[in-house]
Amino acid sequence: MMTKKVVCQNSNVRLQTISEVAKSLNVEQYVLRFWEEKFPQINPIKRRGRRLYSQVDIDTLKYIKYLLYDRGYKIKGVQQELSKTNSANSNSDQQEVNVQVLTKLLSDMLDLRDSLLKKINGV
């Protein structure tokens, strides 16, 4: 199955599908879905039933995998570690990504509207 790469043209934001992320991390997709349930720091955009992960999400997933697989942490330990990290860092990175993604979506919608108007008007 081919995956659609979603790239924001107006920014450096690249969103990846769950299959792309699973492949790059060498874990199954169900593992990523499980981690989403256990770690609220992972917040993929869900569009038309598809999960799209930002680089911030992917970096968090890599860190979770490292703690679980390489360092031998349990889920609870990873949750505590991420809580410490989050309290030290603000969510400004995630907010910035969200703003960039929303800006791109708005731009795409406006382009689509313009394209449809041209077709309707026969231009």
Task: List pLDDT tens digits, range 12-68.
Answer: 568 999 999 999 999 999 999 999 999 999 999 888 888 999 998 999 999 999 999
Inter-residue contact 44 to 52 (CB < 8 Å): yes
Tokens for 56?
Answer: 């911030």
How far is Cα 23 from Cα 8, in angstroms, rounded to an integer?
A: 21
Report the alpha-carbon distance of residue 115 to residue 123 in Å, rounded.
Answer: 9
Q: What radius of gyration, in Å, describes the C-alpha atoms of the chain?
A: 17
CATH number of residue 116's parent domain: 1.10.1660.10
Lookup result for tokens 């598809």: 50
Structural domain includes residue 1: no
Tell me phi and psi for residue 26, to 5 degrees. Answer: 60, 45
Strands (E), 4-100: 6-7, 14-17, 45-47, 50-53
* pLDDT single digits (tens) 1-16: 333 444 444 445 689 9
**Model-level pTM?**
0.63
Q: Does residue 99 belong to any structural domain of this protein?
A: yes
Is 54 a member of any domain?
A: yes
Number of domains in the chain: 1
Residue pLDDT, tens place only, 62-114: 999 999 999 999 999 999 998 887 665 656 666 766 777 788 888 888 889 99
Question: 77: domain range?
Answer: 6-120
Contacts of 5 (CB under 8 A, 6+ apart): 14, 16, 17, 20
**How far apart (Å, rounded) are the C-alpha atoms in residues 4 and 88?**
35
Q: Does 108 fall in a domain?
A: yes
